[in-house]
Structure 1
Amino acid sequence: MSGGWCVTRTSTLLSHWLCWVLVVCWATIFLVTFRIGLISVALVVYAFRDWRQMALATTIPFCFFFLYWWSIPESPRWLLATGKFYAAEEIIRKMAAKNGKSLPPDYMTTLQIKYNAAQKAQHQNSVANSVEEKNRTYGLVDLFKTPNLRKKTLIITFIWFTNTSVYVGLSYFAAVLGGDEYINFLLAGAVELPTYIVLYPVISRYGRRTNLCVSMLIGGLACLATALPIKGETFTLILYCVGKMGISSSYVVLPLFASELYPTVVRGLGMSLSGVAGMLGPIFIPLVNYLGAEHITLPLILMGFLLVAGGLASLLLPETLNHHLPQTLEDGERFGKTKHKPDVTRDDNL
């Protein structure tokens, strides 16, 4: 669960630090390194057969995180959304200096004026309401108070649950495909890497929702196709690889898509809720894989149904490509209620 928490938090911070063009690039790089780590697990397990040694070998590297976590800056977008302009200015000035840029002395004043003007124009709130919004704290309850934000939260959480369940299930299933289980697990991770090379330009061109839906449907239909009366381990292996590539593709898009749907003030909470709920899937997935003892394709069929259901559910979410990130709860509730034209171009900054 802590690993899933780190993944969701990293995705959130990436969406806050970078412009939308770079977010896709770095999200892809982040997940490539994640998959390389997954591939290395096969080598670690092969080298350390005792589970105690394996546990130490896979957890000790996390200790290095405590040597540099303090150097990671807070999200400037979150600081701005909560009215903490001075803290946001300090981080933005450091970011500008690192990139060889300089900010005017009155940058914070100008930013605050623009922020207050945007809040007034978008929400038509009084000054008192703006102050109250600025000083309030947020909780998980805020994700469910309004109907549209509640709908998006439930759909994202369900899709996250299906993605995590099937991804872990297919990874575990590699051991029962026949042959050397260590090589199978290694290849199951390696087959994911080519999908990222193809997916990077596609996400930026065709959007998040389309890619998420297509990836899940391809993976789900490949798993369901194992029910066809065609015998042979090769046929099952090919469909398994297609299914693994499909779920891997959706696993790239989902964190990025979710981070752009949740409003800034509750983005971390929403990502954490969906991520933790998704980690409930691996609890029962081993039981699903156990059904393969009698019918080897039965787990794949069940996971295929899950993927298809998640893919169809993604069509109920609004597209986020070329749109500004929602900042407040009101933005999050309004976004996706009606069809809206893109409001960001490739030349726009954060």
Structure 2
Amino acid sequence: MVVPSPFVYWAQTDKSVSLKIELRNVVKPDISVFNNNIKFTTRGVGAHGDSQYEFSLDLFASTKPNKDGDAATVRIFDNRVEVILDKEKPSWWPRLTAQPQKPAWLKINFDLWKSDDGHDSEEEARDVMQDYPGMYDKLQKEEIGYRKEDLKKVYLVLYNLFQLIGFVYVLSVMAIRYAKLDYDSVADTYEHVGPAVKFLQLMMYLEVMHPLFGYTKGGVLVPFMQVSGRAFILFVLIDSEPRMQTKPVVFYLFLMWSTIEIVRYPFYITQIYKKNIYILTWLRYTMWIPLYPLGILCESIVILRSIPYFEETQRFTISLPNEWNFTFDMPFYLRLYLLLLTFPATFFLMSHMYKLRTVKLRPKIVIKKCK
């Protein structure tokens, strides 16, 4: 009679290997580990019902006793048995077994696939995809027949791709209309691409929430300032005042914004897959040098041109008396906002981008050992 084997799920760090054995009602499993071989025998409830189960594996490399002197650390739960083996030499194994072929009941526990590098900070922690690019993909392809993508990664790629297509559409419409009508197309820019720009701008608030949800690294303040600054210019000053929508500055403002984004979003997609395309990286951290000041100049012109309109219409201005006993003068706020935008905000944003450029475009020093 052939004794069945249970389903075994394995994972590793650079120092240990863990086995999760899917069996219920296990009391005292018989586990023996000798050098690079492990044998497991017990009675429990598994895929073949209540039965005797066993398996034997020749491991890829040698193991050593744990700190208590035991060959393995064994933990028994109601629905599984966990076995942890310490590696004799810290390293990443390309597979669990000595031979390339693995039994059908041996699976990979991708949820536990991580690196134990001794860091407590989540930002400093690494994973096997960074340490050994290609190994994780290879194991997943062997396990399930294709490269399994993280849902967060799929979402980020789709988001960045959607935004890229959106701003390419905006630029394309502007370019085609300018090619056909020349400068006469400038006055109708907002009418033709304004709705698309507004929708894309609202979508950008997802970028503010991505760090909060742990989808991306970095802070919230800088993206919030950038997105909210654009939203204020677009929705409060341009969209609410029809006379501003026909000004040539709107054309140039959309041109600056869209040109920045058609480089930024492809760069983000390459970073998601940890691909470094130097020309794209260089453009991402160089194009801002002329485009950001020009964009801020266009935004400043929009604010200056809007002040007389808001003085005339008193839109968004709250005067006393009112039930809240509160006053708000929109033209005064615009002058104050212009002052802050021209000096502190511009300095903060440019300094932030300069620091990023210094880090991202820093020459890599390669140390070669002399023979």
**TM-score w.r.t. length of structure 1:** 0.28
Choose 1 or 2 for highest CA Rg: 2
Larger proportion of strand:
2
